[in-house]
Structure 1
Amino acid sequence: MANHHFGKFADVWKHLTLVEVLALERPSRYAETHSGSGANAMLVDPERRFGVLRFLEIADTTASLGQSRYRALLKQFGDVRSFYPGSALLAMAQLGVSTSYLLCDLDPVSVEDLRAWSARLGITQCEIAQADGMTAVLDWLDDSAGSATPRHVVVHVDPFDPHSRLADGLSALDLAGRLVDEGYGLVYWYGYDSPNEASWAYHSLRETTQGPLWCGDVMLVDETGAGRPGDLGRASTSGTGSGIVLANVSENTRTTCLALGEALASAYSGSTVPDGTRGHVRFSVHERP
């Protein structure tokens, strides 16, 4: 299992957005640079109680969240207290057999799990690579040149370290910038540990690319609206946050993700965060047409 942070609040926002993008954009080709396992055995702890388990409670009383594709897929897979589906599994379940896939991860256990899930779902056009996701995605795009226009491709970039490179390859941010400028659909996840880093990936890509961008950023804050430096890799505390940068997607997709972000922040108002303090979610949006 490569991902030890599944089902946390950052995963909720990432997957809520990702599934909606895929449902609305309907790509014929879909790739992930850092897939992790298809699913993970669920943990019931303060992080998941604030994350996916809290989401399930509020979704049933919040119309837009309850009608989201993410909620529908969680219901389709059954008891989330048993296991939590990762992004690749959610994508395969949403897009089905008509889409071709490239799913990458360096962890051999995750790779085997992805293969098992793709076979279980009957996904035949699915390449699963135990390889550097950035290099593999570029090769995959080059191999498919002419068979699908960039507008019919979505790439999900979800790095552990956005700046690291293997050998002389691209970093996750480098790859994201190239995808933006070449017109490919992009879903880029980022996280941060300090309030002054909010929306950092959007600002970075805005400086280095020319294409259209949309960013939805969610940050945990305390009851006064303040945050403090934390450790997103360890816990969800006031001052930690994450976001999604979208590129080359439709106005309808951007509008839908905006509504979902607003609904999520409203529904989490007055929640108890995993460290036991009271707080809420600050949702902010940036956009370059």
Structure 2
Amino acid sequence: MANHHFGKFADVWKHLALVEVLALERPSRYAETHSGSGANAMLDDPERRFGVLRFLDVADATASLGQSRYRALLNQFGDAHSFYPGSALLAMAQLGCSASYLLCDLDPVSAGDLRAWSARLGITRCEVAQADGMMTVLSWLDDSTGPATDSQVIVHVDPFDPHSRLADGLSALDVAARLADQGYGLVYWYGYDSPDEASWAYHTLSEKTQGSLWCGDVMLVDETGAAGPGDLGRATTPGTGCGIILANVCEDTRATCQALGEALATAYAGSTLPHGTRGRVRFSVHER
């Protein structure tokens, strides 16, 4: 499905962490269950001005953000003022031809754009599947051979609906738990629109798997730290948040993502939210 939320603050945190994971873990195979388009024409609206466009304004004043791989790739693609690169394009730019790719999306326009970008970058081992991403990724992994493959794979699961189920009854969270239990590298994105739901996917996934997990959760709050009911459609409403869950990554990767999350919260302190009030980002970490 085409992504209508590209370049918003949730994308900033997701892509900031994802690119760093790929740079540090260096997988030989990378898969996405819900890729979207390779890139989207940039919009200059309040959500993007708080999202990627604000990130570009504040990143270079903070060493860890300014030196991040995400910042470097945005610069490579022209500072995101003309178009915004999606997760698949960022992954291909970061890993290049050192990895093979499985990129899934049901939308034919998105699938065509992914193929065009992989060709433009000279990626020779890139399969774009216009099919259900979760089933396709599971089949792709089941076809793997050799005991070393688990540690060389990163799967990015970014579901449109985390609770919808496949024909065999599996939800996106069930798929994520299976990947974690089987030792695959996992990057799982989730969102929410109520403060009571902060870190909800981490707690749910913790009940489904015995594997080691790390979660970095970001929530927008007002300048006093208060948050009411949020709105995922308008992703900058206090009480709206999202998070990244990592499984089967090294300690250095966890520590780097935590440092980036803390730096992002610091850089956004005292921000003016799109509706005109002052706000900030609350960053929290859970791990086991």
Q: How does 1:67-106 map to 2 (within 5 A)?
A: 67-106=67-106
CA distance in 2, matches of 1:50, 1:79: 15
Q: How does 1:1-289 map to 2 (within 5 A)?
A: 2-146=2-146, 148-168=148-168, 170-288=170-288
Q: Does structure 1 retain, via aligned residues, the 8 Å contact 2:223–2:278?
A: yes
Superposed displacement of residue 129, structure 1: 0.2
What code does the residue aligned with 2:213 have? L
| Long gaps (5+) in structure 1 | none
RMSD: 1.1
CA 148–110 in structure 1, closer or farther in 2 if over 3 Å, else same: farther
What code does the residue aligned with 2:80 have? V
SS at match of 1:60: helix
CA distance in 2, matches of 1:129, 1:268: 37
Q: Deviations over 1:44-86 (max 9, x none)?
A: 0000000000000101111100000000000001141110000
CA 17–95 in structure 1, closer or farther in 2 if over 3 Å, else same: same
Superposed displacement of residue 148, structure 1: 4.5
Superposed displacement of residue 147, structure 1: 7.3
Q: Does structure 2 retain, via aligned residues, the 8 Å contact 1:134–1:170?
A: no
Superposed displacement of residue 143, structure 1: 1.3
CA distance in 2, matches of 1:3, 1:28: 26
Superposed displacement of residue 274, structure 1: 1.7
Large movers: runs of 4+ above 4 Å: none
| Long gaps (5+) in structure 2 | none
CA distance in 1, matches of 2:79, 2:15: 17
Q: Does structure 1 retain, via aligned residues, the 8 Å contact 2:174–2:208?
A: no
Q: Does structure 2 retain, via aligned residues, the 8 Å contact 1:28–1:148?
A: no
What is the total number of aligned residue pairs between the two structures?
Answer: 288
Q: Does structure 2 retain, via aligned residues, the 8 Å contact 1:214–1:246?
A: yes
CA distance in 2, matches of 1:72, 1:227: 33
Identity %: 84
SS at match of 2:167: coil
What code does the residue aligned with 1:286 have? H
What code does the residue aligned with 1:283 have? F
CA distance in 2, matches of 1:88, 1:169: 27
Superposed displacement of residue 233, structure 1: 2.5
CA distance in 2, matches of 1:170, 1:22: 26
Q: Does structure 1 retain, via aligned residues, the 8 Å contact 2:9–2:235?
A: no
CA distance in 1, matches of 2:140, 2:3: 24
